[in-house]
Amino acid sequence: MKEKLQKIRERAIAEIQNSDGLEKLGEVRNTILGKKGELTAVLKGMKDVPPEDRPKVGQWVNETREAIESILAEQTKKLEAEALRLRYEAEKIDVTMPAVKPAKGNLHPITQVRNQLTDIFASMGFEIYEGTEIETDYYNFTALNTPQDHPARDMQDTFYLSPEFLLRTQTSAGQIHVMEAKKPPIKIISPGKVFRSDDDATHSPMFTQMEGLVVDKGITLCDLKGMLDEFVKKIFGKNVTTRLRPSYFPFTEPSVEVDVSCFQCGGKGCKLCKGTGWIEVLGAGVVNNKVLEGCGVDTNEYSGFAFGIGIERIAMLKYGINNIKLLFESDLRVLNQIDD
C-alpha cells in the first residue's frame, strides 16, 4: 500500500510540475484528488484494509494528499503569476509612442465662413434675420425696385415655381421683410441659400449669401465704407483695405462693387488678383429711397446702406479653392484640409 501511495505521489508531482497551464492543472487535480480520482479510490478501499492497519494507512493517505495539495498550490501560484505576466506583457502600453489621432469631423467650409462672418457682424452689433428660401416675386424683385418689366431682372436667371412664387435669387428679399416688421434703427445680417440658373467654375445654381442692412438717422456711404474696412481686416488680415467702384443695383443708389486689396501679394499683382492688386468681394450701396418708402420708412428722417456677400466666393478666396464645385462635392480629401 505504501508503495502504491508513493507511486501515486510521484506521478502526481511529475504531472503537476509538467502542467503548463491552469486548465491542465485542474485536470490533473481531478484525476488524482477528484471524486473519481486515484487517491479517492484508495480512501474508498479502506474498508478492505484490516482494521488494525487503518490508522497507519489513513495517515499515509493523508500525508500523500497533503503533499500533493501543497505542490498543487505551489504550481497554481506559479502558473497564475506567469499568466498575469503574460497579460501584462500583452497589454503593455508604450506611453512614449505618438498617439493615434482620433478621427475628428469639422464644419463644412461654407459653414465655417458663415460662422466667421456672423461672429464679426455680431461683434459690430448686427442682429441675425433668417429669411425663407421660397419667396414671392414681390419680395425678391418688385419691392426691391425691380418691377416685372425692369431690365435688371435679366441680371439674375430665376427659378420660378409659379408666376408668383420663386426660389429667392438674393437674400436682399429679407431687407423688405425686416423693414416691414420693424421700425428703424435697423441693423441686421441675413445669411442663407439663394438660387440662380447659373453654372460654371465660379457659379453654382445654389449658393450662399449674407445680406446686411443698416437703417438709421444720418447713415451715409461713409458709414458703409468704414464698416467694410473693419470687416475685411477681420476676415482677410489687418493690412487689407477696400476700394469702392461704381456699380448698379436697382435697390441701392449709389451702388458699389467692393474690392479688397489682394491679401496674397499685398497689392503688387499676382495670379489670385489677376495682376490687378484688387479682388472683388461684394456688392453694396446706399438703400434706394424708393425701397425705403415702399416699406413705410420716412426718408426725410432715415437713410441706410445694404450689402450682399457671396459666402462661397469668400471661402474660395480664403482657402485657395479654384472651382466652386469642390465646395459641393463632399470630397473629404478637400473638406478635411479646411479647418479654421
- Binding residues (CB under 6 A) for ligand PHE: these are 170, 172, 211, 249, 252, 283-285, 306-308
Q: How many whole angstroms separate alpha carbon 27 and alpha carbon 260? A: 84
The cell for 336 is 478635411
170 vs 204 by CB, closer to ligand PHE: 170
CB-based contacts of 21: which residues, under 8 Å, 6+ apart? Answer: 79
Q: How far is the CB of 133 from ligand PHE (least distance, A)?
A: 14
Long-range contacts of 28-35 (CB under 8 A, 24+ apart): 28/72, 29/72, 32/8, 32/68, 33/65, 33/68, 33/69
DSSP 101: P
Q: How far is the CB of 273 from ligand PHE (least distance, A)?
A: 21
195 vs 249 by CB, closer to ligand PHE: 249
| Single-letter code of the amino acid located at 167 | L
Q: How far is the CB of 121 from ligand PHE (least distance, A)?
A: 14
End-to-end Cα distance, the chain: 87
| Single-letter code of the amino acid located at 128 | I
Q: How far is the CB of 111 from ligand PHE (least distance, A)?
A: 20
Q: How far is the CB of 167 from ligand PHE (least distance, A)?
A: 13
Would you say 304 and 172 are in contact if contact means Cβ atoms under 8 Å apart?
Answer: no
Q: How many other CB atoms sit within 10 Å of the CB of residue 78? A: 13
Would you say 284 and 205 are in contact if contact means Cβ atoms under 8 Å apart?
Answer: no
Q: Strand, helix or coil at 129?
A: coil
167 vs 338 by CB, closer to ligand PHE: 167
Measured CA distances, 86 to 80, 81, 146, 210 (Å) = 10, 9, 81, 62
Q: How far is the CB of 275 from ligand PHE (least distance, A)?
A: 25
Q: How many whole angstroms separate alpha carbon 324 and alpha carbon 132? A: 23
Would you say 316 and 322 are in contact if contact means Cβ atoms under 8 Å apart?
Answer: yes
72 vs 309 by CB, closer to ligand PHE: 309
Q: How far is the CB of 206 from ligand PHE (least distance, A)?
A: 14
Q: How far is the CB of 249 from ligand PHE (least distance, A)?
A: 4
Q: How many whole angstroms separate alpha carbon 21 and alpha carbon 97? A: 33
